[in-house]
Amino acid sequence: MAKVKGDIIIDIEKCKGCELCATACPQDSLELSRKINSKGYHYIVKIEDNCTGCTNCALVCPDGIIKVYRKTEKKKEHVATIQNVTGDITVTVNS
Amino acid sequence: MKKELRLMKGNEALAEAAILYGCDAYFGYPITPQSEILEYLSNEAAKRTGMVILQAESEIASINMVYGAAGTGKRVMTSSSSPGMSLMQEGISYIACGEIPCVLVNVQRGGPGLGTIQPGQADYFQSVKGGGHGDYKLVTYAPSTVQEMVDFVFDGFDLAFKYRTPVMILTDGALGQMMEKVLLPEQRPRKTEYEPWGSTGKTPDRERNIIYTLSLQPDVMEKWNERLQKKYRSIEANEIRFEAIDCEDADYVLVAYGLVARICQKAAHIARDHGIKVGVFRPITLYPFPYEQLNKVADNVKAFMTVEMNAGQMLEDVKLAVNGKKSVEFYGRMGGMIPSPEDIFAKLEEKLNHPVSKLVGELA
Amino acid sequence: MNEKTMTVEEAQHFEQILREESICTNENLVFEVPDTLTDNTMHYCPGCGHGVAHRIIAEVIDELDIQKDTIGVAPVGCSVLAYNYLNIDMSGAAHGRAAAVATGIKRVLPDKYVFSYQGDGDLAAIGTGETIHTCNRGENILIIFINNGIYGMTGGQMAPTTLVGMKSTTSPFGRDVETMGAPLKITELIAQLPGTYYVTRTAVNSPNNVRKAKAAIKKSFEYQKLNKGLCFVEIVTNCPSNWKMTPLESNKWLEENMLPFYPLGDIKKPSN
């Protein structure tokens, strides 16, 4: 069965932390980071790896800082999940 | 097409000149005594050229339509009379700041308020000293014949585009309404090429052209102002126009512009018939004002008398120009009244016998 | 959490996995900021609807490939600097006069796409005369009307569209109809004029509304190409700062208060 996988890239330096994207996200993938950018705003980060690439977050983003990617792929066997030290980025490793 | 000699009303001649120059658009609103400009263009331009003629809902709309249309680099003009011109002042300030070339016409009537529909010259300060907010200058031509109503449309557009600045033709209801013979220039083609700065749609080969008047950074806005001032200095150095009539041997010089300058010429003739040597100094550009030229005249005369259809507005510039060298008297009519040559001569004689400076001396 | 430092090998390995596993490649790109939006960071407050409105205009210009033929008119208000964000030729109008400026541009360049972008104070208070007469003449332009029921730039004063009872710095006890008049539904008003071709009210508070607003703007530009006459797209937006709410609260308030009074949908459908 084909699986839709999405991802986003956020220009965190331009983020003003309004959280409209987080509310618009049907997957609850987004959350404000505890960190702040150089402008002093808490910025939005993806906290779940369940993005479907629906573009809702990007549509409501007032600052136009979200790029959305979507790929339809065959289901792969799950091998491992790697997270970076801050927990901001999670990578799922498939076969 | 050959040059054509015609008998025309001032307002219509000016409108005809706009067509002949190849003006692209006119936006206006009816107001006496200049409605013939809009009427003439509505009829003639529609028949003869593709010039845009639009009767706006107000003078405020007219001047902002000029801002938009002239901001594309097209040749655009509007006209009004004193109360309507007051409404346009905000827009003129924006046009000056945005460095948008265009021609404006004020067929003056007597004020203040609704005033009268008879001719006046009481918008001198408004046109020459600012009118709108901020430090800007409006190049101001003062025609004194119907022929000049035509000529200054041509000169005005040329100068407006040379310096990217708005130009005012400051005339009055009498010149607008009276008929004289006028030699019309040849029809020029409408301009087809874009100006490099015009807001016409960003093509890949150039940067964006934005017409705007705002900077929130004071240092940037100061530089912007300095650029404008530099331009005005250049205009002052190169574009002054005036006429000195019989000033060489004159003992007394009448200083007047527009219609009144013509009346003063007749008054000077009467004076010479009475053995008083009188000349007439006529600034053609009210801004830039011929300060130095008038100052030179002051070396050879005994006194000046400024004559205006107002309470004494250009008088201040005349005094600045003469700079105390000689006394400057004043004679003005207001509220739509036109001084006659006899009035002017009588007033001159009266001042010669009882000059203000002498009176002040006696009192002291 | 224990802070750990990765070794160089670990970092390289991690990067490689990231690269191999990432779907963030051009072939998978489904949404990006349009080219016609500049890279400048917008000065708008967090959560402000202006940003979305700007972006969808830019998207439409890109999709129709009309950047070289489009001239926008910016107003006075928060969006006075719209020309810093829209990568097109623009003209900055005096307060309220954008419709007259747009008229001037369109009349001398009838083959270009011309739109004005105006707020409620600009369009429905100081510029009411220009708005109504431009609509009445049926100028072949698009007017985009941002209605957030308040003066944003000057700091939250009452606007013509401020709701009854709504507090602002100049209606601190709430808008009182008896002394301040009722909110002006200018969009319904101009829809009555024969010169208007397409009049609609949209919002940008949800993904679906953003799509609809964008579709309305796109349609309007297409109608302009066909010389259909004046198109008018109202966008009901929020003003978190001057409503004194968080962006999320402001969108909720918009749904509960603004939209019932300013209902979304076409007010005048094209007759064809």
C70-99 residues touching B, CB cutoff 8 A: 70-71, 73-74, 80-81, 83, 87-94, 97
Confirm or reject contact between C139 and chain B (CB < 8 A): no
Among B284, B277, B269, B264, smallest CA distance to B294 is for: B284
Residue of A nearest to C33 (CA): A64
Average pLDDT over residues B1-29: 94
Q: Are B142 and B257 in contact, with CB atoms under 8 Å apart? A: yes
Provide the CATH number for the domain formed by B242-363 in this structure. Answer: 3.40.50.920
pLDDT in tens, B255-269: 999 999 999 999 999
3-state secondary structure of B154: helix
Confirm or reject contact between C109 and chain B (CB < 8 A): yes
**Residue to test with chain C: of B72, B75, B95, B203, most C Cβ within 10 A:** B72
Distance from CA of A41 to the nearest CA of C (A): 9
Distance from CA of C269 to the nearest CA of A (A): 25
**Beta-carbon separation of C247 and A61 below 8 A:** no
Return the partners of chain C (3 or more C-beta pairs < 8 Å). Answer: A, B
Supply the pLDDT for residue C67: 97
Confirm or reject contact between C67 and chain B (CB < 8 A): yes
User: Which of C89, C107, C133 has the CB atom closest to B69's CB atom?
Assistant: C107
**Beta-carbon separation of C21 and A92 below 8 A:** yes
CA distances from A30 to A10, A24, A63, A71 (A): 11, 9, 16, 19
Supply the pLDDT for residue C13: 76
C29-58 residues touching B, CB cutoff 8 A: none
pLDDT in tens, B210-268: 999 999 999 999 999 999 999 999 999 999 999 999 999 999 999 999 999 999 999 99
Residues of chain A neighbouring C240 (CB-CB closer than 8 A): 18
Burial label, C177 (beta-carbon count in 10 A; 0-12, 13-18, 19+): exposed
Among C30, C29, C32, C36, smallest CA distance to C217 is for: C36
User: Which of B24, B64, B204 has the CB atom closest to C97's CB atom?
Assistant: B64
User: Which of B61, B69, B209 has the CB atom closest to C89's CB atom?
Assistant: B209
- Please determine, for residue B356, whether its predicted confidence score (pLDDT) is greater than 90: no
Supply the pLDDT for residue B352: 83
Supply the pLDDT for residue C1: 46
Q: Any residues with CB less than 8 A from the CB of B312 and at least 6 apart, and which? A: B306, B330, B332
Q: Any residues with CB less than 8 A from the CB of C95 and at least 6 apart, and which? A: C75, C76, C77, C121, C122, C126, C127
Supply the pLDDT for residue B353: 80
B4-238: CATH superfamily: Thiamin diphosphate (ThDP)-binding fold, Pyr/PP domains (3.40.50.970)
Question: What Rg do the C-alpha atoms of chain B give, in angstroms?
Answer: 21
- Please determine, for residue B359, whether its predicted confidence score (pLDDT) is greater than 60: no
Cα A18 to Cα C47: distance, rounded to the nearest angstrom: 5
Percent share of chain B, pLDDT over 90: 93
Interface A-C: count of C-beta contacts within 8 A: 111
Supply the pLDDT for residue B358: 53
Residues of chain C neighbouring A65 (CB-CB closer than 8 A): 33
**Beta-carbon separation of C46 and A9 below 8 A:** no
Distance from CA of C63 to the nearest CA of B (A): 16
pLDDT in tens, B88-99: 999 999 999 999
Distance from CA of A93 to the nearest CA of C (A): 7
pLDDT classification of A94: cutoffs 50, 70, 90: low
Confirm or reject contact between C236 and chain B (CB < 8 A): no
- Please determine, for residue B364, whether its predicted confidence score (pLDDT) is greater than 50: no
Structural domains of chain C in order of their starting residue, each with its CATH number = 32-268 (3.40.50.970)
CA distances from C180 to B109, C24, C187 (A): 38, 54, 20
Whether the CA torsion C89, C130, B228, B69 is positive or negative: it is: positive
pLDDT in tens, C1-56: 455 667 777 777 777 776 667 899 999 999 999 999 999 999 999 999 999 999 99
Counting Cα atoms < 13 Å in the Cβ hemisphere of A4 gives 9
pLDDT in tens, A28-64: 999 999 999 999 999 999 999 999 999 999 999 999 9
Confirm or reject contact between B51 and chain C (CB < 8 A): no
Supply the pLDDT for residue A72: 87
Enter the tokens of residue C63: 């999709």
The total of structural domains in chain A comes to 1
Supply the pLDDT for residue A1: 52
Distance from CA of B35 to the nearest CA of C (A): 20
Q: Are C37 and C54 in contact, with CB atoms under 8 Å apart? A: yes
Distance from CA of C137 to the nearest CA of B (A): 10
Counting Cα atoms < 13 Å in the Cβ hemisphere of B28 gives 28
Residues of chain C neighbouring A92 (CB-CB closer than 8 A): 21
Distance from CA of B201 to the nearest CA of C (A): 5
Enter the tokens of residue A60: 């409501």
- Average pLDDT value for chain A: 88
Cα B312 to Cα C153: distance, rounded to the nearest angstrom: 42
Distance from CA of C84 to the nearest CA of B (A): 10
Cα B230 to Cα B233: distance, rounded to the nearest angstrom: 5
Confirm or reject contact between B94 and chain C (CB < 8 A): yes
Q: Any residues with CB less than 8 A from the CB of A64 and at least 6 apart, and which? A: C33, C37, C42, C51, C54, C55
Confirm or reject contact between C112 and chain B (CB < 8 A): yes
**Beta-carbon separation of C30 and A64 below 8 A:** no
Say what the ipTM of the complex is. 0.94
Supply the pLDDT for residue A77: 64
The pairing of beta strand C113-119 with beta strand B4-9: unpaired
**Residue to test with chain A: of C31, C32, C60, C78, most A Cβ within 10 A:** C31
The phi and psi torsions of C151 (rounded to 5 degrees) equal -85, 110
Question: What Rg do the C-alpha atoms of chain C give, in angstroms?
Answer: 21
Residue of B nearest to C66 (CA): B201
**Beta-carbon separation of C210 and A53 below 8 A:** no
pLDDT in tens, B23-78: 999 999 999 999 999 999 999 998 898 899 999 999 999 999 999 999 999 999 99
Q: Are C57 and C144 in contact, with CB atoms under 8 Å apart? A: yes
Distance from CA of A18 to the nearest CA of C (A): 5
Q: Are B25 and B51 in contact, with CB atoms under 8 Å apart? A: yes
- Could you tell me which residues of chain A have a Cβ less than 8 Å from any Cβ in chain C? 5-7, 9, 14, 16-20, 23-24, 39, 41, 53-56, 58-71, 82, 84-85, 87, 89, 91-94
Residues of chain B neighbouring C133 (CB-CB closer than 8 A): 56-57, 61
Domain of A32, CATH number, reads: 3.30.70.20
Domain containing A50 equals: 2-94
Supply the pLDDT for residue C123: 98
User: Are chains A and C in touch, 3+ Cβ pairs below 8 Å?
Assistant: yes
Instruction: Transcribe A4-50 into DSSP letters.
Output: EEEEEEE-GGG-----HHHHH-TT--EEEEEEE-TTS-EEEEE--S-
pLDDT tens for the 272 residues of chain C, in order: 455 667 777 777 777 776 667 899 999 999 999 999 999 999 999 999 999 999 999 999 999 999 999 999 999 999 999 999 999 999 999 999 999 999 999 999 999 999 999 999 999 999 999 999 999 999 999 999 999 999 999 999 999 999 999 999 999 999 999 999 999 999 999 999 999 999 999 999 999 999 999 999 999 999 999 999 999 999 999 999 999 999 999 999 999 999 999 999 999 999 76
- Break chain B into its structural domains and give their ranges: 4-238, 242-363
- Please determine, for residue B363, whether its predicted confidence score (pLDDT) is greater than 60: no
Return the partners of chain B (3 or more C-beta pairs < 8 Å). Answer: C
Question: What Rg do the C-alpha atoms of chain A give, in angstroms?
Answer: 14
